[in-house]
Amino acid sequence: MRASSVLKAAGPGRALPSKLVKASGVIVSLILTFVGLTAVTFTIGRVMPADPVLAIVGDRASQEVYDQVFLQLGLDKPIYVQYLKYLGQLLQGDLGTSIMTAQPVAEDILRFFPATMELATVATLLGVFVGIPMGVLAAVKQGRWPDHVVRVIGLIGYSAPIFWLGMVALLVFYARLDWVAGPGRLDVFYDGIVDPVSGILLLDAALAGEWDIFDNALDHLILPASILGTFALAYIARMTRSFMLDQLGQEYILTARVKGIPEWQVIWRHAFRNVLVQLITIIGLTYASLLEGSVLTETIFSWPGIGLYITKSLFNNDMNAVLGGTIVVGVCFVGINMLSDLLYKLVDPRVR
Amino acid sequence: MMDAALLRVEELHVSYNTPTGLVQAVKGVSFELGREKLGIVGESGSGKSQTGRAILGLTAPGGEVRARRIEFEGTDLLHADRRTMRHIRGAGISMIMQDPKYSLNPVMTVGKQIEEAFLVHSKDSKREAYRRTLEMLRAVKIREPDRVYRAYPHEVSGGMGQRIMIAMMMIPEPSIIIADEPTSALDVTVQLQVLAVLDDMISERGMGLIFISHDLNLIASFCDRILIMYGGQVMEECNAAELHRARHPYTRGLLDCLPRLGGSQHELSVLRRDPAWLETRGETS
Amino acid sequence: MTTLTLRGWLLAEVPRSKGQARCQRVFISWLAFKRNPVAVIGLLIIASLVMVALLAPWLTSTEALELNLAKRLQPPGGEHWFGTDELGRDILDRIIWGSRITLYIVGLVSIIVVPIGLVIGVVAGYIGGWVDNFLMRLTDIFLAFPRLILAMALVAALGPGLENAVLAIALTTWSPFARIARAEALTIRNSDFILAARMQGVSTAGILTRHVAPLCMSSVIVRLTLDMAGIILTAAGLGFLGLGAQPPTPEWGAMISLGRQYLIDQWWVPTMPGIAILVVSLGFNLLGDGLRDVFDPKSGGNQ
């Protein structure tokens, strides 16, 4: 990913065939990752528990029920047949049925997912718009107090257990100061008024023109998003700082200074433009990891997203739901990273 | 050849504070530069590049510059404020660096980078900047200036990159160009092309040139006057034409280890360094 | 005077022996490290963590797991610096005992992860070809997984508990080490001294274990230190969700989980263990940052 290696990759003689090879390489690795992911979830779900049937029916079920489930799961067949069948079901969007909600897991997830997306998106935006300037500032003032302040803030955000941070924030800003609304997405009072069109409450409320609800939703969102955003901010600021330092040490920066360009332009027009290209991948990575990181935040804030869904299913021994959620988050994770990689290739002239 | 000096450097010291102690890169270098081609030659680590950077006030962080005087066209560079310094960089003194692969911004088109160098020091319009840029590209013998204008640095060859660098550094019309190993990263055949372009432009515009290199031969044939540096100090100063008459043992050593066509076939001598050379001059400030 | 000559010996330009060269390397690294105040703080934090864990029996007055219902939920004060929990146990004492669990988790994960990552990475990088392709695909797959969720699913299948949590974390942590070791091995592979060793007839296994692997260690160790905080946080997260160490074990994440219901009125119960987690993972991050600055100045160090 470093500049020097990228430089070599781009020669004048790049024709269509090499692009095709690259594209097919991406697709192959995507497929392989998917196969790997499902192999792991399959192993966790069907192979690892001493008795997957017992895990489903419970130990008080009759022998008849037990046998029926045993056959239903196809456990009499060889493992690879079971896996292929599992894969087939997944490809049709069949993640099994949840024991907890008695509905298809896929439908459940569709219902819970937008809440997580809303949270992760706002958190990432916070991280981007606060973290990047912080990182740039730290790099420019390297070794002086702004650098130390940003580094320490970043490291604290990086080091604090997110669930604990959320609890403390709830205690201070909700219970003591009463600045923000408490757990959940809305006050009970407003629940179910707006039609879930996109599932993203801020969007739905705005579309319906229900500004009271919009305000209330924002009030509820701000704290969990800030907590989740702290991690995003810390990570992005840290990476920005390190990329920026790397770029500021490059020769072309010296060239720009020799030309007599004002320092702020050297920083933003020259160094930062190079950093931005690299940051695209980092922002994608942050967003993907926030989708996952929301598990703990959602638990603390009773935020009805996919993280809460997975955790609750876990305690109800609802393996279908847990594994379904794992696959969906995993696919999003891989997908977003792949997407940001593509975007990076579009933006960087050296690999275009 | 030497009229009023453009640049006066007296007793320049550059030192770096490293974990293992203070490292003195430049120890009391003095010279003057008129509208001429001055070569600074030395091995790596002799402080020649540090000298160039110190003049521009671009010593890397952690480095400390001391001098009795650094004066450019009557301006004291040691005590100049940031604005003055910025104005002098580019418009007064400019610098060409070693490898265009690293010294051009990889995500900015060549044309924009040259234009920028012009616009920073001029109030002219963008259109004028564009026109001047193409003119400059033509002046450094680039055949398709339109195409190169829109190219990114990785799309051009090393020799072309270095000519672009020359165009960029010449466009604000500085009085002095510092060229820091401008051809070391290039193929031998391309080296000569680039040098020819540089030579043309320097003499055409009557600028002063400081040519920094480790290559004594190159310097001797390209420059008017030579400064030989070793261990952060100037060992000897002489006219290029009189190099063969140099007296200092270090210079003699350098000359002796150059292979000569048609000369006797005996073994080349190995450069011998004597720490006593550094002690004789000692610290003065 | 002795210190002066020792310093001179350590900074001599031409080392006289292998031992001196080695000491010099360590000393020069230490000089660079010492200049970085942030890293020194990190080192101090980790050193105190280890001390506290070692001295736990002497630092605690009461047996940490002992109940004392008469003294439940007392606020921080002279007798109980961090207050007491819902069962009247001294929170500070429990945190002190908990430091052993933290070190146990971190140590166990490292012991599993480093050899796996090193072996896969070094073999892939040195041998190359289809072996490299296969191993790196495998690594990529694990690298692409969301860590916490996969660990959760694994623990859900294996059953909650400290060892299973460690196993789950290890399984989702080894892949970056393989990547780093491979990158190092790739550069080392083509160096002249490896060629020299090969021409002397050293076997591939010998080259890998005696030359390549040791040279990968410094980057692996830096990465490990930086990853420690992540490991601690994941372990605490699993503990918080009830999937890690089970009560009454004084694992910090589990302590926060149990104290959660007392948050509003007895804030210290869940807050104190959280501070402990924060401080320790901060320590590892600071130390890792400093080590990276020393060993790998390219990636954003003081250069």
**Over chain B, what is the mean pLDDT?**
85
In a domain, A11, yes or no: no
Structural domain of A258: 105-347
Global pTM reads: 0.81
Q: Count of domains in chain A? A: 1
Which of B103, B119, B177 to mutate to probe the A interface, most A CBs <10 Å?
A: B103
Return the residue of B nearest to A5 by Cα. Answer: B154
CA distance B99 to A111: 57
Give me the mean pLDDT over the B163-186 stretch: 90
Give me the mean pLDDT over the C116-145 stretch: 84
Distance, in angstroms, between B224 CA and closest chain A CA? Answer: 25
Judge contact between C153 and A46, C-beta under 8 A.
no
In a domain, C95, yes or no: yes
In a domain, A111, yes or no: yes
Joined together, the tokens standing for residue C258 give 């149990």
In a domain, A60, yes or no: no
Q: Count of domains in chain C? A: 1
In a domain, A313, yes or no: yes
- Residue C241 with chain A: CB contacts under 8 Å: 296, 299, 311, 314
Cβ distance A333 to C242 less than 8 Å, yes or no, reads no
**pLDDT by position in tens, chain A (length 352):** 333 333 333 444 444 566 677 777 778 877 888 888 888 888 887 766 656 677 667 677 778 887 887 777 777 778 888 888 888 888 888 888 887 788 888 888 888 888 898 899 999 999 999 999 999 999 998 878 888 888 888 888 888 898 888 888 888 888 888 888 878 887 777 777 777 777 777 888 878 778 888 888 888 888 999 999 988 899 899 889 989 988 888 889 999 999 989 989 999 999 998 898 889 888 988 888 888 778 888 988 888 888 888 888 888 878 788 888 888 888 888 888 888 878 887 778 776 6
pLDDT in tens, C193-227: 888 888 888 888 888 888 888 888 878 888 888 88
Give me the mean pLDDT over the C119-134 stretch: 86
Judge contact between A144 and A201, C-beta under 8 A.
no
Judge contact between B41 and B48, C-beta under 8 A.
yes
Give me the mean pLDDT over the B196-215 stretch: 89
DSSP β-bridge partners for residue B172 = none
In a domain, C55, yes or no: yes
Cβ distance B20 to C11 less than 8 Å, yes or no, reads yes
Give me the mean pLDDT over the B217-243 stretch: 86
Cβ distance A10 to B154 less than 8 Å, yes or no, reads yes
- Residue B152 with chain A: CB contacts under 8 Å: 349-350
Q: Give ipTM to 2 decimals.
A: 0.86
Kindly report the length of chain C. Answer: 303
In a domain, A279, yes or no: yes
In a domain, C136, yes or no: no
User: In whole angstroms, how large is the CA radius of gyration of chain B?
Assistant: 20
In a domain, C94, yes or no: yes
- The enclosing H or E element of C238 equals helix C213-240
pLDDT at C37: 78
Least confident window among B118-122, C272-276, C290-294: C290-294
In a domain, A94, yes or no: no
pLDDT in tens, B105-158: 998 999 999 999 999 988 889 999 999 999 999 988 888 899 999 999 989 988
Residue C17 in this model has a pLDDT that exceeds 60: yes
Structural domain of C229: 44-65+78-113+144-172+203-300
In a domain, C34, yes or no: no
Residue C275 in this model has a pLDDT that exceeds 70: yes
Give me the mean pLDDT over the B225-238 stretch: 87
In a domain, A37, yes or no: no
∠ Cα B138 B141 B142 (to 5°): 70
Give the amino acid at C189.
R
Residues 6+ apart with CB under 8 A from B163: B140, B141, B142, B193, B194, B197
Cβ distance A350 to B108 less than 8 Å, yes or no, reads no
pLDDT at A55: 66
Distance, in angstroms, between B62 CA and closest chain C CA? Answer: 9
- Residue B19 with chain C: CB contacts under 8 Å: 28, 31-32, 35
pLDDT above 70 coverage of chain C, percent:
95
- Exposed, middle or buried, A209 (CB in 10 Å: 0-12/13-18/19+)? exposed
Q: Long-range contacts made by residues C252-261, C-beta under 8 angstroms, separation at least 24?
A: C252/C95, C252/C98, C252/C101, C252/C102, C252/C276, C252/C277, C253/A161, C253/C277, C255/C85, C255/C91, C255/C94, C255/C95, C255/C98, C256/A161, C256/A163, C256/A164, C256/A167, C258/C85, C258/C86, C259/C85, C259/C86, C260/A167
pLDDT in tens, A86-99: 888 888 888 888 87
Dihedral sign, Cα of residue C222, residue C47, residue C285, residue C107:
positive
- The DSSP code sequence of A81-128 is HHHHHHHHHHHTT---B-TTTSSBHHHHHHHHHHHHHHHHHHHHHHHH
pLDDT at B206: 87
CA distance C279 to A164: 13
Is A12 part of the contact surface with chain C (CB cutoff 8 Å)? Answer: no
Cβ distance B19 to C35 less than 8 Å, yes or no, reads yes
pLDDT in tens, C26-71: 787 777 777 777 788 889 999 999 998 888 777 777 655 677 777 7
**Out of C141, C274, C277, closest to residue A32 by CB:** C141
Judge contact between C282 and C45, C-beta under 8 A.
yes
Return the residue of A nearest to C273 by Cα. Answer: A164
Which of C145, C225, C255, C269 to mutate to probe the A interface, most A CBs <10 Å?
A: C145
In a domain, A148, yes or no: yes
In a domain, C181, yes or no: no
**Out of B61, B121, B154, closest to residue A350 by CB:** B154
- Residue C31 with chain B: CB contacts under 8 Å: 19-20
Q: Which has the closest alpha carbon to A254: B57, C39, C300, B91? A: B57
Judge contact between C287 and C225, C-beta under 8 A.
yes
In a domain, C262, yes or no: yes
Q: Tell me how crowded residue C244 is: count the other CB atoms within 10 A of its CB.
A: 31
Residue B203 in this model has a pLDDT that exceeds 50: yes
Give the domain CATH number at A128. 1.10.3720.10
pLDDT in tens, B11-60: 999 998 877 778 888 888 899 998 889 999 888 878 888 898 899 988 88
Q: How confident is the model at residue C279 (pLDDT cuts 50, 70, 90)?
A: very high
Judge contact between C67 and C87, C-beta under 8 A.
yes
Instruction: Return the biggest CA–CA distance within chain C.
Output: 76
- The enclosing H or E element of B23 equals strand B21-33
Cβ distance A273 to B105 less than 8 Å, yes or no, reads yes
Judge contact between B171 and B118, C-beta under 8 A.
yes
